[in-house]
Amino acid sequence: MGALFLDPGQRTTRLIREMMATVPDGQGGATVTWAQAGSLWARVEPVSHAGSELAGAERQVLTHRIWIAAQTGVAAGQRLRKGDRIFSILLVRDPDESGRYLVCDCEEEAT
């Protein structure tokens, strides 16, 4: 497979990368919080939309393919944020194994 070319001008969305952190609650449990781990420029591509019912409430999930410049530390289980929008990272891959880009397959739950 040849190397992909992604015009840097297509990365027009500024996102905040967040990592999960647990804070002890003093009673043997923990509270989950999200800590900012940096910011990055990205290309966000909507992929699909699905609706379902969960506990009697309708749930809408949007999937996105988010392209970023390659960097260490980006992994599934983290999330990307743009204001109130949260993109949960499900999978991170190098699309052409060139080490230049990462593609994050993400889900966004519509509110």
Q: Single out the residue of 73, 78, 72 nearest to residue 90, CA to CA.
A: 78
User: pLDDT tens digits, residue range 58-82?
Assistant: 878 899 999 999 889 999 999 999 9
Report pLDDT digits (tens) over 97-110. Answer: 888 889 999 999 77
User: What domains appear along the chain, each with residue ranges and CATH number?
Assistant: 11-109 (2.40.10.270)
Q: Which tens digit of pLDDT belongs to each residue from 8-22?
A: 667 789 999 999 998
Separation of CA 16 from chain center:
9
How far separated are the first and last CA of the chain, in Å rounded?
Answer: 39
From residue 109, how far is each of 8, 59, 84 by CA, in Å? 28, 7, 11
**Alpha carbons 91 and 105: distance in angstroms, whole number:** 5
pLDDT tens for each residue of 39-61: 999 999 999 888 777 777 787 88
pTM confidence score: 0.82
